[in-house]
């Protein structure tokens, strides 16, 4: 059941009744799986972590429910992406902070000069920071620092946990750079259902084109489809990609449009953009999500990548978050 706006306004002041108690296990709430995975890695056994949005849920369209509000009421610390990714929950987070809760918009902790702008709205920033492992490292540090403030006795543990995760994150970034550079330069173009891969493109030197904009709230126009079809044909792009949280309709239209002009383009695979894979699977972790995306893209566009990805390669350090 969705919460009407008047209910949110009435209920959120009750947050002041549920303040953290010193010495207790930290009750942590994360909005997305990508954030939750880092929070779990850093907090270790000093806290419990609940993730608000299930695998496959689009955060751009997510509507908070009464159950979500109860989880906010029960949490000691709330980690969310920010930059309007969870736009329909902004009021809830603002009220939570006003009532004294510890609330951290992790993507907004990055230096502003490192953030990309929304092409359709220059005043807005692209929220998909997790697509660049190097930038996501700064989010890891922000989570560590927040826990250190809330639980000074646990600082050594948080530092140790952060460094352990960081080794794997950096090794994955090296793997990603190597296999993506093996893709022929002329087809180093990533075409996806929506514009979620800007940070990925910047980090790994790919041209990135989304059929929809940064948000999935608006549909692609006929003009958008025709423009992309012409690009696929002219550049002879061999593969385009669907996303786990976005319907395939638009991508299928691109394939049919290219076919009508005599060019065959295939679906190179399904990528994880706004959500990770199923819980309990490798792709249901942040490291596994990026590993899957990088390996899928490289292999579909003519690059060299092991079938089993980073985890199966010599660069893997056997991540602790692996199932």
166 in Cβ contact with 307 (< 8 Å): no
User: What pLDDT shows up at residue 20?
Assistant: 43
pLDDT of res. 23: 57
Q: Sketch the domain layout of the chain as residue ranges.
A: 26-175, 183-315
Tens of pLDDT along 85-111?
998 888 888 878 887 889 999 999 999
Q: Taking 80 as the threshold, does the pLDDT of residue 317 lie above it?
A: no
How far is it, in rounded angstroms, from Cα 15 to Cα 264?
56
Q: Which of 26-35, 86-95, 136-145, 202-211 has the lowest mean pLDDT?
A: 86-95
Please check whether the two domains, 26-175 and 183-315, share a CATH topology.
Answer: yes
- CATH code at 26-175: 3.40.50.1980
Considering only residues 19 and 34, tell me which one the structure prediction assigns the higher pLDDT: 34
Which range has the top average pLDDT, 115-124, 142-151, 269-278? 142-151
Reported confidence tier of residue 262, pLDDT bands at 50, 70, 90: very high
- Contact between 50 and 29 (Cβ < 8 Å): yes
What does the H/E/C string look like for the chain?
CECCHHHHHHHHHHHHHCCCCCCCCEEEEECCHHHHHHHHHHHHHHEEEEECCCCCCCCCCCCCEHHHHHHHHHCCEEEECCCCCCHHHHHHHHHHHHCCCEEEEHHHHCCHHHCCEECCEEEEECCCHHHCHHHHHHHHHHHHHHHHHHCHHHHHHHHHHHHHHHHHHHHHHHHHHHHHHCCCHHHCEEEEEECCCHHHHHHHCCEEEEEECCCCCCCCCHHHHHHHHHHHHHHCCCEEEEECCECCHHHHHHHHHHHHCCCCCEEEEEECCCCCCCCCCHHHCHHHHHHHHHHHHHHHCCCCCCCCCHHHCCCCCCCCCCC
Say what the pLDDT of residue 72 is: 85
**Arithmetic mean of pLDDT, 276-285:** 95
For the chain, percent of residues with pLDDT exceeding 70: 87
Give yes or no for residue 221 having a pLDDT over 50: yes
N-terminal to C-terminal alpha carbon distance within the chain = 33
Q: The domain at 183-315 falls in which architecture?
A: 3-Layer(aba) Sandwich (3.40)
């Amino acid at each position: 059941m969705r919460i009407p706006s008047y209910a949110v306004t009435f209920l959120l002041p009750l947050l002041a009744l549920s303040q953290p108690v010193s010495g207790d296990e930290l009750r942590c709430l994360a909005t997305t799986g990508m954030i939750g995975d880092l929070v779990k890695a850093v907090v270790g056994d000093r806290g419990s972590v609940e993730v608000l949005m299930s695998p496959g849920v689009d955060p751009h369209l997510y509507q908070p429910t009464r159950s979500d509000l109860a989880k906010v009421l029960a949490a000691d610390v709330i980690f969310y992406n920010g930059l309007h990714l969870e736009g329909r929950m902004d009021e809830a987070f603002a009220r939570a902070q006003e009532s004294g809760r510890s609330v951290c918009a992790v993507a907004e902790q990055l230096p502003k000069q490192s953030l990309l702008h929304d092409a359709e709205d220059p005043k807005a920033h692209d929220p998909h920071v997790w697509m660049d492992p190097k930038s996501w490292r700064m989010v890891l540090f922000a989570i560590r620092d927040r826990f250190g403030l809330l639980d000074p006795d646990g600082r050594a543990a948080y530092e140790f946990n952060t460094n352990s995760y960081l080794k794997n994150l950096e090794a994955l970034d090296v793997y990603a750079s190597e296999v993506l550079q093996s893709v022929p330069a002329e087809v180093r173009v990533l075409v996806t259902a929506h514009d979620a891969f800007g940070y990925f493109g910047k980090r790994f030197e790919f041209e990135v084109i989304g059929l929809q904009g940064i948000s999935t709230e608006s549909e692609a126009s006929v003009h958008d489809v025709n423009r992309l079809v012409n690009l696929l044909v002219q550049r002879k792009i061999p593969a385009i990609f669907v996303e786990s949280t976005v319907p395939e309709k638009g991508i299928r239209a691109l394939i049919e449009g290219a076919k009508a002009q005599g060019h065959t383009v295939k679906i190179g695979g399904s990528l994880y953009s706004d959500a990770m894979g199923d819980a309990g699977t490798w792709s249901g972790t942040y490291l596994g999500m990026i590993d899957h995306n990088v390996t899928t893209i490289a292999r579909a566009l003519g690059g060299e990548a092991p079938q089993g990805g980073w985890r199966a390669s010599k660069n893997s350090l056997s991540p602790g978050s692996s199932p």
